[in-house]
Amino acid sequence: MHRSPSKHVLLGTLLFVSLGLTSVSYAQEVKAGDLVISQAWTRATPGGAKVGGGYLIVENKGSAPDKLVGGSTDAAGRLEVHQMSVENGVMKMHPVDGGLAIAPGKSVKLAPGGYHLMLMDLKHPLKQGDKVPVTLQFEKAGKVDVTLDVGGIGAQGPQGASGGGHMDDKAMTGHSGGKM
């Protein structure tokens, strides 16, 4: 009487969905102390552009807050942590004062239209398909190397795992992680 075939179907579906998510997860997930950084990406920039954005997700699995305070990259003169806000109907961005707090047990998403990394004084255009090594600076976790996957100019999110699953050795220097 309590047997319900539809429950099995539902379970099967859930299992399938979670497996599916796993298989399209991004090649790079960087762990640094209590932080897990994933889905790091950026957009291609038009020639001559001097700035580019950077987007990722930071999850704090620990019990203490941390802060993303800045970073650096060889691809640009400076790297800042920015936020967007709308003032009088105009989208503006400015550096996050004192760093971006990552509360314990929470994830913070840097995405177009919100918090983002700002690569200032780009040394060369970012090209779709390239990988841009970036060193993030956290208050507690310290320096963390991640790689931004460069998507198309109008990309709204990170690209799937299609193509480019392998890691560039040069991008791997600085942390000991290997392929899982």
Q: Which residues bind Cu ion (CB under 5 A)?
A: 82, 93, 118
Burial letters 91-130, b for 16+ CB under 10 A, else e: eebeebeebbebeeeeebebbeeebbbbbeebeeebeeeb
Q: What is the nearest approach in angstroms of Cu ion to the Cβ of residue 83?
A: 8
d(CA 82, CA 125): 20
Q: What is the nearest approach in angstroms of Cu ion to the Cβ of residue 174?
A: 25
d(CA 169, CA 180): 15
Residue with Cβ nearer Cu ion (34 or 55): 55
Q: Select the residue whose beta carbon is closest to Cu ion and give its number.
A: 82
Q: What is the nearest approach in angstroms of Cu ion to the Cβ of residue 60?
A: 23
Residue with Cβ nearer Cu ion (82 or 131): 82
Residue with Cβ nearer Cu ion (30 or 118): 118
Write out the DSSP string of 101-149.
Answer: EE-TT-EEEE-TTSSEEEEEEESS---TT-EEEEEEEETTTEEEEEEEE
Residue with Cβ nearer Cu ion (69 or 93): 93
Q: What is the nearest approach in angstroms of Cu ion to the Cβ of residue 93?
A: 4
Q: What is the nearest approach in angstroms of Cu ion to the Cβ of residue 163?
A: 28
Distance of CA 128 to the CA centre of its chain: 16
